[in-house]
């Protein structure tokens, strides 16, 4: 048992990793895929195909729409049927490329074999270009374009690369299965990222509720070190299970004992964090020339008849996945994209998966029922649980009072990582996060407007 973890707050929700023994299974290709143009944080991508065009698997269909943006590739081969707004997971219309599938023809140059290539180019620039061209985004949830993250601002130096294999959310097992089944590829991906950043040390951080993964990764790294000196400096670190360990700032605290200041970035303390799935995607991009066209998705829930970890093509309609596994269970009341703590309830099952979709979780009415909201009894449990050291009870009151944005900013509402620990620990069932998330968005808007005004004044 490891005792190493982050220093402030956190909660211990039940693990519920009921799909942990399910091997990653390849989902058959659906008849139609819907590829969203906004699959990442930042500007939506701009389509570079027209209706009626024939596309192949791995062919770029959209180019970055700004600096913080990413390429998007066709996940199937077929004909572009339409480029039009379509309702996303939250029910809001988003631009989508609809592709009717015909066969499974891959773009030339993509290596589709399973051979593991351990030797990678030394030139960081080539790797970075390949990562950018493959449209890789952070697959841990935030979907921040990886090539931007791997280009530290001038003057900032990276001391350590952390590969995030915590998967601290209950129910999720796709990263765990990836580590077990594609551990070698992940390790090589980590070495490539390490090379791009030019750092000496990399740590693959795994929570101690996944001992098989820790053991397997240690073996994989020992073997790789024998092959090449490029794999020196990569180690596995076992962390104590605690939610939200996979949060970027929490993970840096746990691994390096360094704290990122309010409003700061991980690079300020010399850290870069990348998810396990992102490391695998980097391996695919650099070694196999394969862009992100699929990702592993955990489909789980006590009420769901069949647990599974599926390799799903980007843009697969959710209903297709559910039907493949035996249809919607009658007693499922809520379907969540992601884990139960930070995932979002899905309003529209006709929507399609995105690059960052990590799980589909089915919960019953009993599991999702909210208790009746009571009065705050000032017990301070929310403040104790908050991993960012905020005071959720205070933020809640300020938010509900209305028009207190300056006070909210003073109390650092913008630091909230929306992990839900406060809501989870509140004995009065106060919807703390729902309220705080709203005022966080408002305060972020004010901060951005202020920064824009300052930048305009400088000019």
Partner 1 sequence: MSTTIIWTIAIIALLGLVLAVVLYLVAERFKVVEDPRIDEVEKVMPGANCGGCGFAGCRAFADAAVKAPNLDNNYCPVGGNEVMKKVAAILGYEIKEKAPMVAVVRCNGSCEARPRTNDYDGYASCRVKAALYSGDTGCSFGCLGCGDCVSACQFGALSMDPATGLPVVDESKCTACGACAKACPKAIIELRPKGPRGMRMYVSCVNKDKGPSVKQACANACIGCGICFKTCQHGAIVFENNVAYIDPAKCKFCRECEAMCPTGAIHGVNFPKPIDKDAIKARIKERNAKAAEAAKAAAAEPKKEEA
Position 441 contacts partner 1 (CB under 8 A):
yes
Peptide bond into 244 cis (omega under 30): yes
Q: Which stretch binds partner 1 (CB under 8 A): 259-267, 272-280, 283-291, 339-347?
A: 339-347
d(CA 117, CA 139): 22
Q: Residue 274: which of 426, 143, 395, 120 has the closest Cα?
A: 143
Q: What minimum distance in Å lies between the beta carbon of 45 and partner 1?
A: 22
Q: Which three-class secondary structure state does DSSP give residue 357?
A: coil
Residue closer to partner 1, measured from CB, 7 or 438:
438
Cα separation, 172 vs 194, in Å, equals: 26
Q: 61 with 47: CB under 8 angstroms? A: yes
Rounded CA separation 7/4 (Å): 9
Nearer to partner 1, 78 or 356 (CB): 356
Q: Closest distance between partner 1 and the C-beta of residue 105, in Å?
A: 33
The contact pattern for partner 1, residues 291-330, with x = CB under 8 A and - = no contact, is: ----------------------------------------
SS3 9: coil
Number of helical H runs and strand E runs in the chain: 14, 17
How many residues of this chain interact with partner 1, rule: CB under 8 A? 18
Q: Please, which residue, 125 or 370, has the CB nearer to partner 1?
A: 370
The single residue among 7, 12, 51, 91 that binds partner 1, judged by CB under 8 A, is: 91
Nearest approach, Cβ of residue 314 and partner 1 (Å): 21
Task: Compare residues 116 and 345 and give the one whose CB is closer to partner 1.
Answer: 345
3-class secondary-structure state, position 363: strand
Stretch that binds partner 1, among 19-27, 91-99, 112-120, 377-385 (CB under 8 A): 91-99
Binding residue (CB under 8 A) for partner 1 from 54, 87, 201, 319? 87
CB nearer to partner 1: pick between 4 and 87: 87
The one among 51, 347, 377, 401 contacting partner 1 by CB under 8 A = 347
Angle made by CA atoms 312, 313, 314, in degrees to the nearest 5: 110
Total Cβ atoms within 10 A of residue 209:
17
Residue 372 found at the interface with partner 1 (CB under 8 A): no
Interface residue with partner 1 among 405, 437, 446, 447 (CB under 8 A) is 437
Q: Does 431 bind partner 1 (CB under 8 A)?
A: yes
Distance of CA 46 to the CA centre of its chain: 22
The string of DSSP codes covering 20-83 is TTPPEEEPPP-SEEEEES--SSSSPPEE---TT-EE-BT-EEEE-SSSS---EE-SS-EEEEEE
State which residue, 90 or 261, has the beta carbon closest to partner 1: 90
Q: Looking at 33-41, 165-173, 322-330, 363-371, which segment touches partner 1 (CB under 8 A)?
A: 363-371
- For partner 1, the closer of residues 361 and 435 by Cβ is 435
The answer to whether 429 contacts partner 1 (rule: CB under 8 A) is no
Q: State which of residues 93, 211, 380, 389 lies at the interface with partner 1 (CB under 8 A).
A: 93
* Chosen residue from 222, 434, 445, 452 binding partner 1 by CB under 8 A: 434
Choice from 31, 66, 82, 92 touching partner 1 (CB under 8 A): 92
The region of 87-95, 135-143, 187-195, 222-230 touching partner 1 under the rule CB under 8 A is 87-95
SS3 99: strand
What are the structure tokens assigned to 194, written together? Answer: 């390490």
Contact window for partner 1 (CB under 8 A) among 261-269, 273-281, 435-443, 446-454: 435-443
Q: Which of residues 206-265 bind partner 1 (CB under 8 A)?
A: none
Residue (344 or 450) nearer to partner 1, CB: 344
CB of 265 to partner 1, least distance (A): 25
**Residue 368 touches partner 1, criterion: CB under 8 A:** yes
Q: Do 166 and 141 touch, CB atoms closer than 8 A?
A: no
Quick check: 235 and 221 in contact, CB under 8 A?
Answer: yes
Distances (CA, A) of 365 to 368, 369, 370, 429: 5, 6, 10, 17
Query: At its nearest, how many Å lie between partner 1 and the CB of residue 7?
Result: 30
The radius of gyration of the chain from alpha carbons, rounded to an integer in Å, stands at 22
Please state, in angstroms and rounded to a whole number, the distance separating the CA atoms of residues 378 and 14.
25
Of the listed pieces 48-56, 63-71, 248-256, 431-439, which binds partner 1 according to CB under 8 A?
A: 431-439
Geometric angle at alpha carbon 314, from 312 and 317, rounded to 5°? 80
Q: Tokens 């990678």 belong to which residue?
A: 120
Cβ proximity of 165 and 277 under 8 Å:
no
Interacting residues toward partner 1 by CB under 8 A: 87, 90-93, 344-345, 347-348, 368-370, 431, 434-435, 437-438, 441
């Amino acid at each position: 048992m490891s005792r190493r973890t982050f220093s402030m707050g956190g909660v211990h929700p039940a693990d519920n990793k009921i799909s942990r023994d399910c091997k990653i299974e390849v989902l058959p290709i659906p008849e139609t895929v819907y590829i969203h143009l906004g699959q990442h944080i930042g500007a939506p991508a701009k389509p570079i195909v027209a209706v009626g065009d024939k596309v192949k698997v791995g062919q770029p269909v959209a180019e970055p729409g700004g600096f913080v943006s990413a390429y998007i590739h066709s996940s199937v081969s077929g004909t572009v049927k339409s480029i039009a707004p379509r309702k996303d997971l939250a029910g809001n219309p988003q631009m989508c490329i609809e592709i009717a599938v015909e066969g499974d023809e891959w773009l030339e140059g993509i290596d589709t074999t399973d051979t593991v290539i351990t030797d990678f180019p030394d030139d960081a620039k080539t790797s970075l270009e390949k990562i950018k061209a493959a449209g890789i985004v952070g697959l841990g949830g935030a979907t921040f374009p990886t090539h931007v993250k791997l280009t530290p601002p001038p003057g900032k130096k990276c001391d350590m690369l952390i590969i995030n294999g915590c998967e601290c959310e209950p129910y999720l097992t796709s990263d765990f299965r990836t580590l077990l089944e594609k551990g070698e590829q992940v390790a090589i991906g980590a070495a490539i990222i390490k090379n791009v950043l030019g750092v000496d040390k990399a740590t693959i951080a795994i929570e101690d509720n996944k001992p098989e993964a820790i053991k397997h990764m240690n073996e994989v790294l020992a073997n790789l070190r024998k092959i090449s000196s490029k794999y020196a400096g990569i180690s596995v670190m076992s962390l104590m299970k605690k939610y939200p360990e996979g949060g970027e700032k929490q993970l840096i605290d746990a691994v390096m004992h360094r704290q990122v200041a309010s409003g700061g970035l991980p690079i300020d303390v010399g850290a870069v964090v990348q998810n396990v799935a992102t490391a695998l995607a980097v391996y695919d991009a650099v070694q196999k020339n394969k862009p992100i066209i699929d990702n592993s998705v955990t489909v789980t829930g006590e009420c769901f008849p069949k647990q599974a970890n599926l390799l799903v093509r980007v843009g697969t309609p959710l209903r297709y996945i559910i039907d493949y596994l035996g249809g919607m269970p009658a007693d499922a009341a809520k379907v969540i994209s992601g884990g139960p703590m930070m995932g979002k309830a899905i309003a529209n099952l006709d929507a399609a998966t995105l690059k960052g979709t990590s799980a589909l979780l089915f919960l019953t009415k009993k599991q999702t029922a909210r208790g009746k909201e009571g009065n705050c009894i000032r017990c301070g449990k929310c403040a104790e649980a908050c991993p960012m050291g905020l005071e959720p009870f205070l933020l809640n009151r300020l938010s509900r009072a209305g028009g207190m944005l300056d006070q909210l900013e003073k109390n650092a509402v913008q630091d909230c990582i929306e992990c839900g620990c406060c809501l989870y620990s509140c004995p009065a069932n106060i919807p703390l996060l729902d309220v705080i998330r709203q005022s966080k968005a408002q305060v972020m808007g004010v901060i951005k407007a202020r920064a824009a005004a300052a930048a305009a004044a400088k000019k």
